[in-house]
Structure 1
Amino acid sequence: MLVMVALGSWLLAPTNSSGTRAIGLWLVGAGLNYAPLAWYAIRLMRPGALDAELADVDTDRELRRYTVLQLWVFVPLSLVVFDTLIRRRSRTTAS
């Protein structure tokens, strides 16, 4: 995550080329997608958290579903947006 954001920022800084700028923006956006993934991974490392999350889940069906959904990692900032929407939805249902 940090390497992608750093490389993208480095490519953005000195360039006037639109191609290099596009690659830099993509690297920064795709790198930022890993922030929510890292947050969830850290959250699930607590003892029993993963077992509680997977209770009553059809893992075969979910594995097939997430095999396709993982391609969203390549769309810059998509996972950041999805995470924000999920957090907002959970706050409104909890209230």
Structure 2
Amino acid sequence: MADTRKKAAALRYDAKKDAAPKVVAKGSGKIAEKILEIAKEHNIPIRDDPQLVEVLSTLDIYQEIPPELYRAVAEILAFVYRMTKKVQ
């Protein structure tokens, strides 16, 4: 039976310090809801991508994303950049 609970993952990327974005939070159910709540409270853009969340949820906290995810995460970073430019 498939797991139908909501899942979430949060990424952080500091181009000056990090070689690649890192997973800084992940979880399902109540934890996913809390991650989304905190993101909304801090006006952090949220993108719904269940397939990417599935992959990110297999990584350890503070683990840099592997090269095979660079393209997918680059698309998210571009989305975040566009969203934050609209807000400013």
TM-score by length of 1: 0.28
Is the helix fraction higher in 1 or 2?
1
TM-score by length of 2: 0.30
Is the strand fraction higher in 1 or 2?
2
> Which protein shows a greater Rg?
1
